[in-house]
Amino acid sequence: MASKEALRDEIAHIIHEDCARGLATIPFNTADRILSTILAAIQEPTQPMVQSVKHDLAWYHAAETWRAMLNASALGEQSE
């Protein structure tokens, strides 16, 4: 997973790039690119995320649970 600073830099780059190309006047384009950046950063659970799960839950169950929760969230594949 990317660091918070790396995500901030990527989002700032998207906004700057879209403003320079005149696309920021279409906020949905910029918003879609930002959401895609965030989704890519949290797509797979990191080791610390998996380790924070209860000890009786195997790591692979934690990863599967994360993917299912993400897919069901507003950022996930199952959202509109």
Residue pair 34/64 in contact by the 8 Å Cβ criterion? no
Angle 71-7-68 (CA atoms, 0-180°, nearest 5)? 10
Name residue, tokens 């950046």.
37
Residue 45, amino acid = P
Residues 3 and 32 occupy one common structural domain: yes
Q: Which residues contact 24 (CB under 8 A, 6 or more apart)?
A: 15, 18, 30
Task: Give residue-wise pLDDT tens across range 8-52.
Answer: 788 888 888 888 887 666 677 777 888 888 888 787 777 776 666
Residue pair 1/44 in contact by the 8 Å Cβ criterion? yes
Residues 32 and 68 occupy one common structural domain: no
Residues 37 and 4 occupy one common structural domain: yes
Q: What is the count of structural domains for the chain?
A: 2
- Statement: residue 69 has pLDDT above 80: no
Structure tokens at 35: 């959401």
Residues 60 and 80 occupy one common structural domain: yes
- Statement: residue 61 has pLDDT above 60: yes
Q: Range of 54's domain?
A: 45-80
Predicted TM-score (pTM) of the model is: 0.51
